């Protein structure tokens, strides 16, 4: 979601992160903890988290191999080869950080087990906005886009397009 030295988080990963806060309390009541992990140092994470208004737990893996172990970070040398191992295959990937979700289980003796990972479109189920779009006549309306998430912005940047103003105005008109 946020690499070392980045000025802001990946817009697609941030779109996913926008859906976390409402889930955290419900997950906790089912003995589940959601935690985001990024390679950026904590001060960088905290600054972006504050900008976005997020409250979910987010930790740094800076200086560790965690992201490499789960195939969501790539070195410049790996990217230079033209192919990286991501989403269970060798493929081209444009940047050093990729989206992924992994699940771990801690047993009564303290043993920790990796039980599941998913990547790329496998994360779509976590994005409530997609679920709403899938109910509409136009669906996700991705045909003709440069990439499937080309329309996504950081939530604090939509006002630059005027899109939020239009939606809010339409909503006010409909409610009156």
Distances (CA, A) of 101 to 9, 13, 157, 165: 16, 11, 25, 33
At residue 158 the predicted structure's pLDDT band, cuts being 50, 70 and 90, is confident
pLDDT in tens, 85-134: 999 999 999 999 999 999 999 999 999 999 999 999 999 999 999 999 99
Inform me whether the pLDDT recorded for 161 exceeds 80: no
The average pLDDT across 79-85 equals 95
At residue 170 the predicted structure's pLDDT band, cuts being 50, 70 and 90, is very low
161 CB burial (10 A radius; 0-12, 13-18, 19+):
exposed
Inform me whether the pLDDT recorded for 174 exceeds 90: no
Measuring CA to CA, which residue among 22, 30, 26 is closest to residue 56?
A: 22
In percent, the amount of the chain with pLDDT more than 70 equals: 90
* pLDDT of the residue at 173: 44
Measured distance CA(76)–CA(44) in Å, rounded: 21
CB 66 within 8 A of CB 56: no
Q: In whole numbers, what is the pLDDT of the chain averaged over residues?
A: 91
pLDDT in tens, 46-76: 999 999 999 999 999 999 999 999 999 999 9
Look up residue 83 and give its two tokens.
């192919």
């Amino acid at each position: 979601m946020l690499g070392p030295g980045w000025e802001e988080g990946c817009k697609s990963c941030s779109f996913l992160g926008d859906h976390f806060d409402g889930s955290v309390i419900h997950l906790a009541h089912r003995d589940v903890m959601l935690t985001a992990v990024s390679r950026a140092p904590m001060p960088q994470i905290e600054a972006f988290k504050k900008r976005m208004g997020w409250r979910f737990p987010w930790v740094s893996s800076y200086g560790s191999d965690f992201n490499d172990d789960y195939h969501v970070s790539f070195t410049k040398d790996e990217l230079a080869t033209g192919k990286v191992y991501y989403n269970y295959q060798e493929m081209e990937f444009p940047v050093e950080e990729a989206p992924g979700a992994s699940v771990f289980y801690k047993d009564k003796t303290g043993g920790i087990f990796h039980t599941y990972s998913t990547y790329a479109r496998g994360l779509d189920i976590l994005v409530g906005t997609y679920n709403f779009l899938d109910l509409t006549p136009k669906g996700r309306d991705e045909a003709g886009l440069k990439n499937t998430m080309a329309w996504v912005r950081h939530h604090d940047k939509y006002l630059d397009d005027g899109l939020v103003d239009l939606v809010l105005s339409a909503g006010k008109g409909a409610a009156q």
